[in-house]
Structure 1
């Protein structure tokens, strides 16, 4: 089966009023995705205040975070199938409404039960919304522009990762923590109007047949089979590096939480830039080369980060983070686009949900494994000092305070152990990325990678000319 981007059933922008209309439509889709991205990070800033206001234990507070992530990840594939059955536009509208209802439940919560229930409803709304959004991107983009469309979508969506901590901090400090949830309907409800204005003419792909989630026939497609593998592995270090970079900035470099949020913006900018670059590369040269370059870039950045952690320099950390953001999107966006456009029209929501599950699973598992490894290595590198255990010293390092009673020597040792633990984890992460790429190559996941549209058209023209010449 050919996987050339030019041969895929891409959207042709039908029903859009102008050549620029499809870009406006992509922006509307990205704005809806941006809100779900914000909710992945905004709660982390507000959580201490929420716990104090509702008298939550640390474990209950953790469930406020996990309830959204678990519901989102588990329900993504069913959400994609629902969009395929009722149509992606109807599915998107439903997702917007459900997410808004969940946000209102969270904002009105007087105890942990309603708050956690609201987070589950938010996760359900996001699980319906995201596959429909990604499937609609392929429908509204002109032929040959799907990669560019996904690049624009990824760049705008990436802003949510940066906006979350900054917006959350501002709302908690100057308004009230409940507004981190109440603000969502104020953004999402106007999007319902914009969806009607710009997307209603894009058509509705409705699947009337009963289908299994992912069939073996689907997995024979190189883009889907390799996409699930590659996206899962390349996402492993992403959340880990941003979480522990934040800890490093505060505990080693002495930044405040707000300054830390600002300091991490270049890394988020790399993700946005990577989306645009990867989308254009996919349209011109297919998905294979950008994906390989992205994997090599991620591995190289992790190695560079491992060495730079000893320098105790902001520039030494933020440059690898910026390049890493570009490389991750280069490794994921092209193959994600190809897997979705390779799918039958009525399967795209389901395939989109499946690819997003791979991405979210990589994020979650990587955060758990690499984060646990960093903590274990750091604790192993700390020696009990002046009556303080290694655990107490490491806790103080992770949560720096002006009122700490630890001797300076103990703090210095803890900070050095944290940096060494992060460095070793970076080197191990680089090895995992290279191993995943090598195994993908050995399993022939890059076979029949697809040719760029221009080359395809040129070859088609040459083939047509040969009989005439004869």
Structure 2
């Protein structure tokens, strides 16, 4: 066993690098699925609604458990919870790989999200313990650069796998990465304990999970349910349960609450949650339609689409470290404001330049601007937001910020999915009506009925757009007309959907300008290794603290 002296000599950068492997894997999985989604939908015969659930189920499992997982890390040690989350994530990835249909795949993706939720919040508490506060910006800049690298690798690697293997290998890839990560964590990361043990109350935990689940389900399924009674009932039930949770937490603020309200009174921490939710909405709300657009409208192969998108995360990875260092020097607010402005400009210019015949060169500028914004926002955001948070609360604070980001992603999945589905069906219905006007009156009803699969809101989209059965297969000229109409309708629907994140990013810039304050690094003292005990054989070993 390593001695306490050897533990003191462990490089905090080594510890951060080892922990980041699992985090890298979860981000890699999300971006690979993003670029491979058209092929996944074809492989399991999924409708657009089911395809959105393949994307959203992971976020649902992830978002509902983050706060709880952050508290579990505070109570039982972040390394232990990290390893359990890693095991769940890898096991669920294997189930995704063998999924025979969309239902099984969606369920396995939900379990994947639960594993990712247990893993992700454990990194930041350990960072606050092994790095001095003056280096937090650089450390978070490293994780930001790694995130950019994952987003860069995901589309490219996903394109290679889909082009030369099979979409199922995007999930099997997690097995070797997960095993290597577990080995290195056990070897190099000590069992740090950020706070005292407190019981995890089951009632508020259940209320939080049920409330977030009901809210997310209603939002994601709202369009498919025509925003009827079932959708609004799920949303209302979620809001009601979350209100019950808030009231319960208010009564238990002095007895180990799951959600400490004193954290939300910290101005920068509250601001970080607002910006994280807006960034989550904007990123996930943009990436899904962009990936579909490149492959379905511009007819790119998955590999080419991956390399095209790579300009965005590559730029993000290159600037993340710079943003973190500037944050350490007291310029976090300026960096975040610059990043939000770049992200807004990037998405806005993407809307302006995209059409059914846009070239790759025209996409380069918007993607670089968007990546610049991502890198400059995320690298200082956690440093600025957690700067006033005491280390014993770092786990739950990390869970809150990550939850805010993922709830933003859930809202984006629901809102952008609804806009895409509604506008796509509307555009295609308008085209069918126009075509029918050129036919004799008695033939119009039959013509519209023949193209009902295009306009009924349950269109099954594959990597080549709508299936032949929905395009009047058998008449090449008619198929070409339908494909052209589909491209026009999808591009218009995408533009309408992307207006939402652009508007929210502008709101985020105003919020950051008004709320964030540059504050000096806290002085919580030097980080300490785990306490040691002497065994009967005279060796020293790390032990748990009560």
Match of 1:450 among 519, 528, 532: 519
Question: SS where residue 144 of structure 1 aligns?
Answer: helix
Q: Point out where structure 1 has 5 or more consecutive residues left out of the alignment.
A: 1-12, 454-470
Deviations 1:402-427 (A, max 9, x none): 97644655544543444344345444
**Equivalent residue, structure 1, for 2:503:** 431
Query: In the alignment, is residue 250 of structure 1 matched against residue 295 of structure 2?
Result: yes
Shift of 1:204: 2.6
The residue number in structure 2 matching 1:392 is: 454
CA distances 1:192-226 after superposition (whole Å, capped 9, x unpaired): 2322333227x332432352233332111011111
Counterparts of residues 62-461 of structure 1 (less than 5 Å): 63-107=53-97, 117-171=107-161, 174=164, 178-200=168-190, 203-210=192-199, 211-310=256-355, 312-377=358-423, 380=426, 382-384=430-432, 385-387=434-436, 392=454, 399-400=464-465, 405=476, 406=478, 408=480, 411-439=483-511, 441=513, 444-446=514-516, 448-451=517-520
TM-score, normalization: structure 1? Answer: 0.79
**What CA deviation, in whole Å up to 9, does each residue of 1:377-429 have, x standing for no partner?**
45555533434669738968984479764465554454344434434544453
Distance 2:383 2:332 in 1: 8
Deviation at 1:33, TM superposition (A): 0.5
Bigger Cα displacement from structure 2, 295-304 vs 162-171 = 162-171
Where in structure 2 are there 5+ consecutive unaligned residues? 200-255, 437-447, 523-546
Contact 2:63 2:407 in 1 (8 A): yes
Offset, 1:102: 2.7
- Deviation string for 1:340-392 (max 9, x for gaps)? 34222121111111111111111221233234335544555553343466973
In the TM superposition, residue 86 of structure 1 has moved relative to its aligned partner by 0.8
Give a deviation string over 1:49-86, Cα, whole Å, max 9, x none. 76777787876666554433211110111111000001
Cα distance in 2 for residues equivalent to 1:185 and 1:368? 30
Q: Closer, same or farther in 2 for the Cα pair 1:62/1:244, shift >3 Å? A: closer
* Greater Cα offset, 330-339 or 49-58: 49-58
Contact preservation (8 Å) 2:87, 2:115: yes
Change (3 A) 1:248 1:14: farther
Relative to structure 2, which stretch is displaced further, 391-400 or 92-101?
A: 391-400
Moved more, 279-288 or 355-364: 279-288
SS of 1:200 mapped into structure 2: coil
Aligned equivalents of 2:64, 2:76: Cα separation in 1: 20
Matched position secondary structure for 1:209 = coil
Please say if residues 148 and 317 of structure 2, whose CA atoms lie closer than 8 Å, have aligned partners that are also in contact.
Answer: yes
Tell me: CA distance 1:451–1:126, structure 2 relative to 1, closer, same or farther (3 Å). Answer: same
**Equivalent position SS for 1:342:** coil
> Which of 81-90 and 253-262 deviates more?
253-262
The answer to whether the 8 A contact 2:52-2:417 is kept is: no
Question: What do residues 210-257 of structure 1 show as CA deviations (whole Å, max 9, x unaligned)?
Answer: 522333321110111111111112332212322222233234433223
> When the two structures are superposed, what TM-score results if normalisation uses the length of structure 2?
0.69
Say if 1:122 and 1:295 are closer, same or farther in 2 by CA, change over 3 A: same
What is the aligned-residue RMSD (CA, Å)? 3.6
Alpha-carbon deviations, 1:258-312, whole Å to 9, x = none? 2112211112213323422321221123422112222222222232222222582
> 1:462 matched to which residue of 2?
none
Task: Return closer, same or farther for 1:251/1:91 CA change in 2, 3 Å cut-off.
Answer: closer
User: Deviation at 1:38?
Assistant: 2.1
Q: How many residues align?
A: 435
Offset of residue 30 of structure 1 = 1.8
